[in-house]
Amino acid sequence: MSKVIDYIKESYDELMNKVSWPSWSELQNSAIVVSVASLIIAFVVFGMDIVFGAHPDLAWKGLLGYFYSFLT
């Protein structure tokens, strides 16, 4: 049991004294960068879904839908 207590104490000491935490402004900037990158990737994937016809309910079958209709 003493090993577990030592581990917890050492972990706490490391987190409080040895880890360099980002400042609030650095954290906000990183969150904005991640949010913008996520939106860009989401729009790219949405565009690919529309262009290549991932939605069969739409009138536009997409490029692959028209290609597959030639094969059948």
For residue range 53-66, what is the model confidence (pLDDT) as tens digits? Answer: 656 666 666 777 77
2 in a domain, yes or no?
Answer: no
3-state secondary structure of 23: coil
Stated pTM of the model: 0.59
Question: What is the pLDDT at residue 60?
Answer: 65
Q: What is the pLDDT along the chain (72 residues), one digit of tens a residue?
A: 889 999 999 999 999 999 998 999 999 999 999 999 999 999 998 888 777 765 666 666 677 777 777 776
Helix, strand, coil proportions of the chain in percent (round to 5)? 80, 0, 20
* CA–CA dist 34, 24 (Å, integer): 15
7 in a domain, yes or no?
Answer: no
Phi-psi category of 62—alpha, beta or left, where left has phi over 0 and alpha has psi -120 to 50? left
11 in a domain, yes or no?
Answer: no
Domain containing 63 equals 21-71
67 in a domain, yes or no?
Answer: yes
- The total number of structural domains in the chain stands at 1
15 in a domain, yes or no?
Answer: no
25 in a domain, yes or no?
Answer: yes
58 in a domain, yes or no?
Answer: yes
Name the CA dihedral angle for 13, 16, 22, 23, rounded to a multiple of 10 degrees. Answer: -170
